Each structure stands twice: as C-alpha cells, then as structure tokens.
Amino acid sequence: MVDASVRKRKQAVATQVPAAGSTKADQSALNKKTAGTVRLTPILSLLLVALGLLLFQQPQLAQRLFDVVTSITSGDAPLPGTGQGVGVQIEADIEKRDAVVEAFKHAWLAYERDAMGADEYHPIGHRGSNLTAAGGIGYTVIDSMDTMLIMGLDEEYQRARKWVENKLDFDQDANFNTFETTIRVLGGLLSAYNLTGDALYLEKAVDLGDRILPAFNTPSGLPTSMINLGKREGVMNPDTPDLVSTAEAATLQLELRYLSWLTDNEEYWEKAEKVMRVIKDARLATGLASIYLSKNDGRYALSAIRLGSRGDSYYEYLLKQYIQTNLTEPVYRTMYDDAMESIDKHLIRQSEQAKLVYTAELIPQHSHSGEVIWRLAPKQDHLVCFLGGSLMLGATLTGATTHPVSIPPHASQLTREGKRDWINGVELIRTCMKTHDTQTGLAPEIVHFRIPTDGLEGSIMPNDWYIKGAKPGAPAPYDARYILRPETVESLFVAFRLTGDQRYRDYGWSIFQAIEKYCKIESGGYASVLNVDKVPVEHEDKMETFLMSETLKYLYLLFEDDKTLPLSKYVFNTEAHPFPIFNPTIRTGFS
Ligand SMILES: *[C@@H]1O[C@H](CO)[C@@H](O)[C@H](O)[C@H]1NC(C)=O
Ligand SMILES: *[C@@H]1O[C@H](CO)[C@@H](O)[C@H](O)[C@H]1NC(C)=O
Ligand SMILES: *[C@@H]1O[C@H](CO)[C@@H](O)[C@H](O)[C@H]1NC(C)=O
C-alpha cells in the first residue's frame, strides 16, 4: 500500500496530542493616536500667512498641493506592485508563450514514448510507475489534458483522449489518497469536460466521484485520508489513524460542488460542504487552522499552524469557494476574511535586514508546567508562494468597495483590509522571487529566515534567508531541492492578470529559463534538482505530474492574452484545473 499524500504535500512528522490550545503569539495592538488640541503659536501663524501668499501668487503650485493632499486622504495613491499597467489590456507575448508550449511537448512526448498510461514518470530511467501495484488511474494523463487543450495541442490531446476512453479504469482494489485523487484526477476530468463538452469526461467523473464519496462516512463527516476505489471504502492512514489533514479535507469542495452542479446530484456537494461546517464550528481562538483535525469529533488536534504543507489549500479554497459561487455565498467570505486577518496578525513577519515579508509557522510545545506554548518558527515552504497571488486576488474581491475593480486596482477601490492584503501579497511575491537567488535561479523547497536568536554568524550568512542544514561538501538537505513546483509562477500569473505589470512576466521568464537550463533532460522530460544552490546539478529521476498540469500551464497563461480563461469567468482548482464560475442553485446550509 502506498501513501500518496507525500507526493504533493509533504508528509509531516506526526506526534500529536489532541487538545485545544490558544496561541501566545504576540498580537500587535493597534496604536490609535488620540488627537490633541491644536494651539497655533504666533510663529506657526506667520508661516501659514506666508504659505497663503505664496499659493496666491503661484496657483499651479496650489493645485499640485491640493492634488497631493486629496490623493493621500482619499487613499487614491497608486498601490504598490502595480507598475505602469494603468487600464491595461493584456496581449500575448507570442515568442515566450510558444517557448512554453515547446517545453510542454518536450515533457509530454517523452512520457508518451516511455510510459504512456503510467501514473508517474521517471525521465532519466525512461520508465513509468504506478501509485499502487493494482494499476494506474491516469494520474499523469488526466492531469495534463486540459493543458493540451489550452495550448491547442490537438494531436497530443486526441491520443490522450483515446487512452481515457479505452484504458482508464478506476476499479482498482487499492488505497489512493483521497485529496490527490480528487484534485488531480477528478479535477482534470471536470475541466476537460468544461473545455470540450465531451460526455466521456463527465461519465468518468461521475464514476470516480461515486467511488470517492464513501470517504466521508466517518463520525464527524471529515473524509478519510485514503479511499479504496475498487471496494469503495474509506481507509485511514495507519500512521495517523484518527487524524485528517486540514488542507486535504478542505480542498475537495470546488470539485464536488461542480460535479453536483453538472449532474444535479446534491450528494457530492452535501458531503463536501459538511466538512466546511465542521471546520467552521471547530474555529480556534486565533482564527487560524492547525494542520490536523480529529476524524471522530471534528475538533482541531494540537498540531502546527502553517500556510505550507497540510495547511495551504484550506486558505486557498476559502477564497475560491466564494469565487466559484459567483460571490453569492457570504459564509466563505466571512471565513476567508477571518483567516486573512489572523494570518496578518500572527503569521506575517519581516526579515531582519532586507525587510522581506514572509509567513512563519507556529509550533506547539509543552512547557515544564505542562502548559502549551506556541513557538514561532521562521520557516516558509515553497508551497506558501501561492499565497501572494491569492491575497492580491482576494483583495480585489472581498477587500474591494466596487466590483469589478480596475486593472490595476486603485487604492480608493480597496478597503483597509483589501489594501493590507494587496500589500502583503505583493511583498510575499517579492520574497518568493528573492528565494530564487541561488546558483541555479531555482527556489528551494523550504527556506528559513534569519532571526536574532538563531545563533548564525552574519558573515557566513549574508542573506536574510538560508537553506537549513546546507553545508559545503555535505549531502544536500531535503530542504534544498526543487521538484518542479508551480506556486511561484501561479502567483506571478495572477498578479500579472490583476496589474498588467511587466515585472511579473520578467520574473516568470527567468524561472522558466532556469527550469530549461537545469531541469530539462536531453532525451526528453524534466527532472527534480536535488540542490538548487549547486552547479552542476544533480537530478532526482522524477517528473512530478504538476509540471504539466500547473507549472507549464501557469507559465503559458502568464504569456497568453487575458481572453484565455479570464479570471472573471474561471476559478482554478489547487492543481490548476480551471472550473467555471456559476450561480449555484443549491444554497449553503449553514452560516
Ligand atoms: C501501470 O498501470 C497501467 C494501467 O493499469 C498498466 O498498463 C501499466 O503496465 C502499469 N505500469 C507499470 C510500470 O506497472
Ligand atoms: C465551461 O465554462 C464556461 C465559462 O463559464 C462556460 O461558458 C461554458 O459553457 C462551460 N462549458 C461547458 C461544456 O459546461
Ligand atoms: C454572477 O453574478 C453577476 C451579478 O452579480 C451576474 O451578472 C453574472 O451573470 C453572474 N455570473 C454567472 C456565471 O452566473
């Protein structure tokens, strides 16, 4: 039996003591300045008279001064991160876009040649492998199909479709990760259906959806971490038999809601939504989510709080559920706003010197007296890099005073929270780009930021961030790898669509070139790099399916015009499969 959860969200070490805890993270209190009484001294009066005379004689100066003052007070100063892109229409950069298509073909054709139908691909060994011994479930094929459709690769697409029609079979007596199967396979089928209207995909999606449903038959309604697709039985991970990963439970909703909408079968939606109700009821005092929930009572288990693995897409899907339902379900907006407020308060930090904005993690520990204390760890997973774009997108929707906002938005169109999230988003993307300052230009899997108590010599660690455990001459630590992850380019795509600022395309192009230079395998395909800070590189013989479903799709869309998959009509699932936005006919059963 294979636990597939390690494949996308890294398995966390689990030593959990179920209990409710409150965080001791410092809460930055708002310093409200009280206005004092103004007493004009004679000197000040004289100055005012002089200023009045000057402005009387120089009316243009008066106008300029007036403009500055009103723009500050009305909050209409340009937002950071918006560059020159005022009122932009986004045109394709055809040359760069087509270079991304060539990269996709380099990946796909090698897979097709060596491993067609296998779940996973090993480009150096020229072979495929399956998640379980029972047989494949189309992991790579289905994850890649909508990218082919979007890129216009018709011949490749037709061959993939033929495989789905003739070879795909979900009747496999083996355990598959509930979350990964949903986001990659069900998600891929649903977006292929949307892009083609081909009934084959809906039929396959219904078959898979029905096999996934038994995962929700638990006392709390939270899904089991695995599902036996052949036996139609939920199965818990033996390492954590009572625990459900928060992100995994709360990242099935876009898929199941869309499946309900297409089939008029409410069951998928009811099961997925029950999870949201359970999570809302479990709310911790801080408004943040621990990475584990108890399968039995639906409460949070005492476990880390982070935006990286096992936390990430819970936050992502709060916003995306609000978007998918065409902004008609206020409960998701409330939950999202609550979570973003908490993230700003408890997790967002700035590095010592360069003032890079990053998100820290909260780790629960027991003090000598047995009380729970929360330690703030300055560690950020590459997975967190989705958050920059997500915060910017959220700012234009839940943080906007008008709908739709302009591109780029004006400060006057955003609420106080909208501005806060926008700025945090812009800054997080800047930080994620800084983590690409390595020998290869690729970002590591995990970075740590310097803090005064880390005991590191400033002279040997000139940067604000570092790869923990990396030593010259020693084997590279796990943190040092790049496994073709999409999160930074995902944020670049969203930020570019919202601003038209060329800077985001330039960043994306530099990442693409680094992938071409260091991950590309001559004979075909792309592989992970074991240490982003060492050249020549050493590869790991694996091409993750999210290279073709996410990384190359978001890069393509970054250089494509904005009429392809407009953000006003589509929402992307966490595996970059686009779903339509619709007005749901079934309303939420809780608030
Ligand atoms: C993987 O599964 C597919 C479909 O069941 C099968 O055709 C293929 O031979 C398997 N590949 C390997 C390497 O086991
Ligand atoms: C796919 O989504 C788009 C955007 O909402 C919609 O216009 C189209 O009708 C959908 N296609 C199908 C086959 O449902
Ligand atoms: C979303 O809601 C707006 C009104 O707020 C409406 O004009 C639009 O047609 C809706 N979109 C869909 C896809 O139903």
Q: Residue 225 Cα, ligand 1 centroid: separation in angstroms?
A: 24
Q: Which of 146, 312, 464, 501 is catalytic?
A: 312
Assign 586 a pLDDT band (cuts: 50, 70, 90).
confident
Of 351, 342, 206, nearest to 286 by C-alpha is 342
Q: State pLDDT tens for residues 311-365.
A: 999 999 999 999 999 999 999 999 999 999 999 999 999 998 889 999 999 999 9
Higher pLDDT: 77 or 481? It is 481
- Non-local (6+) Cβ contacts of 35 within 8 A are none
**Which residue has a Cα nearest atom 12 of ligand 3?**
582
Q: State pLDDT tens for residues 362-405.
A: 999 999 999 999 999 999 999 999 999 999 999 999 999 999 99
Does 533 qualify as catalytic in the annotation?
no
Average pLDDT over residues 474-478: 92
**Which residue has a Cα nearest atom 12 of ligand 2?**
194
Q: State pLDDT tens for residues 325-340.
A: 999 999 999 999 999 9
Q: State pLDDT tens for residues 48-58.
A: 666 666 655 66
Residue 198's pLDDT is what? 98
Whether 251 has a binding-site annotation, put simply, is no
Residue 425's pLDDT is what? 98
Residue 513's pLDDT is what? 98
Nearest atom within ligand 3 for CA of residue 569: 13
pLDDT at 83 over 90: no
**Helix or strand holding residue 376 (H, E):** strand 372-377
Q: Residue 329 Cα, ligand 3 centroid: separation in angstroms?
A: 13
Assign 37 a pLDDT band (cuts: 50, 70, 90).
very low
Give yes or no for residue 477 CB within 6 A of ligand 2: no
Residue 28's pLDDT is what? 31
pTM above 0.85, yes or no: yes
Q: Which of 487, 501, 544, 550 is catalytic?
A: 487
**Which residue has a Cα nearest atom 2 of ligand 3?**
326
Residue 36's pLDDT is what? 35
DSSP per-residue letters across 35-71: PPPP---HHHHHHHHHHHHHHHH-HHHHHHHHHHHHH
Residues of the chain with pLDDT > 90, as a percent, come to: 79
**Which residue has a Cα nearest atom 4 of ligand 1?**
136
Query: Ligand 2 test: best mutation among 194, 564, 568, most atoms within 8 Å of CB?
Result: 194
Q: State pLDDT tens for residues 158-189.
A: 999 999 999 999 999 999 999 999 999 999 99
pLDDT at 137 over 90: yes
**Helix or strand holding residue 377 (H, E):** strand 372-377
312-326, 456-470, 523-537: which range is least confident on average?
A: 456-470
Give yes or no for residue 455 CB within 6 A of ligand 2: no
41-45, 218-222, 566-570: which range is least confident on average?
A: 41-45
Give yes or no for residue 84 CB within 6 A of ligand 3: no
Give yes or no for residue 328 CB within 6 A of ligand 3: no
Does 180 qualify as catalytic in the annotation?
yes
Q: Which of 143, 146, 156, 180 is catalytic?
A: 180
Q: Which of 273, 445, 464, 490 is catalytic?
A: 445
Does 544 qualify as catalytic in the annotation?
no
In whole angstroms, what is the distance from residue 334 CA to residue 286 CA?
Answer: 15
In whole angstroms, what is the distance from residue 348 CA to residue 336 CA?
Answer: 16
**Beta strands 243-245; 233-235: pairing state:** unpaired
